[in-house]
Amino acid sequence: MHFNHHTTGLLAIACAASCTAQTTTTTPTSCTATVYSQIAPAVAACTSITLRDIYAPPSSSIDLSKVKAGTVITFAGTTTFGFTNDSSFDPIILGGKGVRVTASAGSVIDGNGQAYWDGLGSNGGVPKPNHFIVVSKMTGGSIIENLNIRNWPVHLFSISGSDQLILRNMYLNNTAGDVPNSRSGTLAAGHNSDGFDLSSTTNTLLQNTIVYNQDDCVAITSGNNITVENMYCSGGHGISIGSVGGKSNNNVTNITFRNSKVINSSNGPRIKTNYNTTGFISNITYSNIQLTNIDTYGIDVQQDYLNGGPTGDPSNGVVISNVLFQNVYGTATSDARNYYVLCGSGSCSNITFSGTKITGGGEASYCNYPAQVVLLD
């Protein structure tokens, strides 16, 4: 739909009487869209946008990346999506300066994951939208908050190129993907369902959010000055730096994870670097992290990572320095290791454990740097 700037009558038709002027000017400031076709005119014209009970047809993104500075976007009712058999398709796109994305009480964003899940995620099988919500170049104190999201197909938030961004107070529930289906056999149907993937992002705060999923709760692959706090992560692969290496940006600095819980997951705190790549990881803190029922590694630092499985042979092209695990505590399962540190030759320095106590792992911990960490068992 083409928006004609000189005719307010056409604007009224395009918004289907859902755009309501709040001032005496000819440009409305508040719009409510109730069908997909009303979204683009609202983005072009309004600074307060409500999306109520939107159904996005196949191959139709809810594109909110070009809203005016300072716009408030509210998801209301139930937002649903048609089936799009395309791994490069992005169902929701967010961007802008000083933008606030929020939701009304009782609203739900449902990603229609059941139509895609096959136990393979982005590793094959049915082509599926690889990133459900793409956040690109959100700046100037933008806020994403209060969203209730369920059943996303693969990765949920892909955040890149953003600065001074706050994400908070969200409930993200992919537990329907825990159950096998006819396509996944004995495997959980949901796979690669990361909660938050952050890259090339700075000065960002992620807090007060609950994530139930089947992969990383949070994964930071590049960025600077990011704080992740007061998280509840269940069912996934832990709170991660990485995997780092082999990407366009491979520097991760000044990252803090604190005051969070990781439950029924493969790992707790995790730093993973890709085999035979280069990069730089420094000034990483995990503080006051409670672990419960971790089934692979309580704390994991490994430099032999490959998506198809670790090699067991670490490389040293990614430098890891100044890492603090402080008051990380809790339980692992009988077939897990409490601690696993596998560094390349000379590539790790100043990894410190303070007040850390993980118990229950039945497999012996392994740490080649610093060797004394095995004494923590």
Q: What pLDDT digit, counting tens, does each position of 294-353 carry?
A: 999 999 999 999 877 888 999 999 999 999 999 999 999 999 999 999 999 999 999 999
Q: What's the rounded Cα separation, in Å, for the pair 299 and 145?
A: 30
Q: What's the rounded Cα separation, in Å, for the pair 68 and 95?
A: 10
pLDDT number for residue 10: 35
Q: What's the rounded Cα separation, in Å, for the pair 164 and 362?
A: 43
In this predicted structure, the answer to whether residue 4 has a pLDDT above a threshold of 80 is no
Residues 6+ apart with CB under 8 A from 357: 329, 376
DSSP-derived 3-state class of residue 42: helix
**Residues 76-88, mean pLDDT to the nearest whole number:** 98
Give the max Cα distance, the chain.
Answer: 75
pLDDT tens across 190-221, in order? 999 999 999 999 999 999 999 999 999 999 99
In Å, how far are 114, 205, 328 from 257, measured between CA atoms? Answer: 32, 10, 11
pLDDT tens across 140-171, in order? 999 999 999 999 999 999 999 999 999 999 99
Residue 215 among the catalytic residues:
yes
User: Which tokens sit at 16?
Assistant: 């289907």
Of 3.90.1150.110, 3.40.50.970, 3.20.20.70, 2.160.20.10, the CATH number of 8-376 is: 2.160.20.10
**Residues 171-179, mean pLDDT to the nearest whole number:** 98
pLDDT tens across 355-370, in order? 999 999 999 999 998 7
Residues 6+ apart with CB under 8 A from 333: 293, 294, 295, 360, 361, 362
Identified catalytic residue from 215, 216, 300, 304:
215
In this predicted structure, the answer to whether residue 87 has a pLDDT above a threshold of 50 is yes
Where along the chain do its domains lie?
Answer: 8-376
In this predicted structure, the answer to whether residue 35 has a pLDDT above a threshold of 60 is yes
pLDDT tens across 272-303, in order? 999 999 999 999 999 999 999 999 999 999 99
Q: What is the pTM of this model?
A: 0.92
Computed over every residue of the chain, the mean pLDDT equals 92
Q: In percent, how much of the chain has pLDDT > 70?
A: 91
Identified catalytic residue from 155, 216, 237, 304:
237
